[in-house]
A and B are shown apart, each in its own frame.
Chain A
Amino acid sequence: MAFLNTSPTHSTTINLLSSHSFSQLKLPKPSLGRRHIPQALKASKVLSFYGLTTPPYDIDALEPHMSQRTLEVHWGKYHRDYVDGLNKQLENSPLYGHTMEELVKITYNNGNPLPEFNNAAQVWNHDFFWESMQPDGGKMPWGGLLQQIEKDFGSFDKFKEEFVEAALTLFGSGWVWLVLKKKEKRLTVIKTSNAVSPLVWGDIPILALDMWEHAYYQDYKDDRVKYVNTFMNHLVSWHAATVRMARAESFVNLGEPKIPVA
């Protein structure tokens, strides 16, 4: 079954909707009628609404490593709950109009998270996680990304070891990341608790692994070792990582500056 066929009202990203379109969607509506909004504002106010993004593959495409049942619950329920919860919290909020990335950074509020942070960060984290995987994934990175990994970790195997170790030593719910540190100009493995995303410290995420139990319990029960190794060997998308790395390099110069000789 393809994701696109599951729920047309939720499976597309919906931004900048007019208030008129809300009536056609089964999404929570801002209670415009009950509140007094000055006429001038009403005319100019742009209403937006965060939608549930669809993973870039069919819902059963990660089988047998990540089951359709897991995706149905993880994407179709958990991820959707975070989106719905966020929209509910943001009803008529001035925070609307930001990209999800901006929203995560703003609601983190320099370490004193606003109530919206958990939902916003979890929406972003899950979008990023789905895109960190692909059918027939795993194997090896290549080119510049591989070189950078070898430079910063010693070897690809050492990176893998460090990533797996981080996942297995995480206490409670959270995420494991491969990030590019902007100032240090190096790739690093980090783990975060609950909803926290490395975006909030200005790191550039390259890969994410969801270590909440709901991500793997259906398929692996308490066997985190098997889940993490399966992610590394069969699911991780080095394509996605390569693209993200290329984008990151427009913010971070990873090489020695090559100044042309006059």
Chain B
Amino acid sequence: MAFRSLLGKTKPLLGFRPIDQRLGLSCRGLQTFSLPDLPYDYGALEPAISGEIMELHHKKHHQTYITNYNKALEQLHEAMEKGDTQTVVKLQSAIKFNGGGHVNHSIFWKNLTPVSVSGGDLPHGNLGWAIDTGFGSFEKLVAKINTEGAAVQGSGWVWLALDKELKKLVVETTANQDPLVTKGPNLVPLVGIDVWEHAYYLQYKNVRPDYLKNIWKVMNWKYAGQVYDEFTSQV
């Protein structure tokens, strides 16, 4: 499944497990990450998001996060082998920022889909019920996310998340490229919306609320519903 293959790659970051494993196998090459393909063409989300924005966002911005994340991992690897704790600690901010950028964007691409596929189709099934129960209605959820997304100072993300312990939906925001997991270890991202200016400036300029209003037209609720089902059916 698409979700698995994508998150399967980024999962190591969240748990830091493979890095621990690699410590014991230091002779092995370091695992690096590469840019995942977009599941649609750059222009496929127009007019909600322009092809120019999508191309820059994917090819340049996401690629830069990956490049710098790989660089930081390499330095981390080296520092850990040397037992250089100072450097290990110093690298954490670059890992959070660039690794977070990779995690977040990988989710974001999955969250969107062209109208001709199923973009903007309302959530139904279990997730649809959970939204109605948790927020009153779908419209109320959208209004809440739009308000909180517009209020993010500077760069960041707004999320619809599942608290997998409490089996409850929550809206969260994170600053810069902090991934959702920094807001709580039980939070599973269902929908993440990038409110960095690079996500909308070329088309919407200073009017972030219009970008937020339009992004729902290309939202992939099918994907969000699959993730929801996967994590709520786990015992």
Q: Which A positions have Cβ atoms within 8 angstroms of B?
A: 73, 77-78, 81, 118, 171-174, 193-195, 212-214, 217-218, 221-222
Q: Which of B178-207 contact A (CB under 8 A)?
A: 196-198, 201-202, 205-206
State whether B154 touches A194 (Cβ < 8 A). Answer: yes
Q: B144 an interface residue at 8 Å Cβ cutoff? A: no
Tell whether B111 is near chain A: CB-to-CB under 8 Å.
no
21 CB contacts below 8 A, A to B, read: A81-B206, A171-B93, A171-B176, A171-B177, A172-B97, A172-B154, A172-B176, A173-B154, A195-B153, A212-B154, A213-B196, A213-B201, A214-B197, A214-B205, A214-B206, A217-B197, A218-B201, A218-B202, A222-B61, A222-B64, A222-B198
For B176, what are the chain A residues with a Cβ–Cβ distance below 8 Å? 171-172
Query: Quick one: which of B199-221 are within 8 Å of A by CB?
Result: 201-202, 205-206
Report if B11 contacts A (CB, 8 A).
no
With beta carbons under 8 angstroms apart, the residue of A174, A217, A222 that contacts B154 is A174
The 6 closest A-B pairs by CB, nearest first: A173-B154, A172-B176, A194-B154, A213-B197, A172-B155, A222-B60
Q: For residue B60, give the distance in angstroms from its CB to the closest CB of chain A.
A: 4
How distant is the Cα of A171 from the Cα of B97 in the complex, in angstroms? 7
A173 touches B205 (CB 8 A): no
Shortest Cβ gap from B42 to chain A (Å): 14
| Interface residue total, chain B, C-beta cutoff 8 A | 20
B35-75: CB near A (< 8 Å → 1, else 0) gives 00000000000000000000010001100100000000000
B contacts, CB < 8 Å to A: 56, 60-61, 64, 93, 97, 153-156, 175-177, 196-198, 201-202, 205-206
Q: Most chain-B Cβ atoms within 10 A of its Cβ — which of A118, A172, A193, A218?
A: A172
User: Looking across the interface, which residue of chain B has its beta carbon closest to that of A215?
Assistant: B197
Q: Which of B61, B176, B177, B196 has the most CB of A within 10 A?
A: B176
- A87 CB → nearest B CB, Å: 17
Point out the residues of chain A lying under 8 angstroms from B56, CB to CB.
221-222
Rounded to whole Å, the gap between the CB of B67 and the closest CB of chain A is 12
- Chain A contacts of B64 at CB under 8 A? 222
A4 and B61 alpha carbons, distance in the complex (Å): 37
Q: Are B153 and A213 in contact (CB under 8 A)?
A: no
The distance from the CB of B71 to the nearest CB of chain A, in whole angstroms, is 13
Report the minimal beta-carbon distance from B166 to chain A, rounded to whole angstroms.
30
Contacts of A78 in B (CB 8 A): 206
Interface centre among B154, B196, B197 (most CB of A within 10 A): B154
**Contact A73:B197 (CB < 8 A) given known A193-B154, A195-B153:** no
* Complex interface: chain A residues within 8 A of B61 (CB): 222
In the complex, chain B residues whose CB is within 8 Å of the CB of A171 = 93, 97, 176-177
> Which chain A residue lies CB-closest to B101?
A171
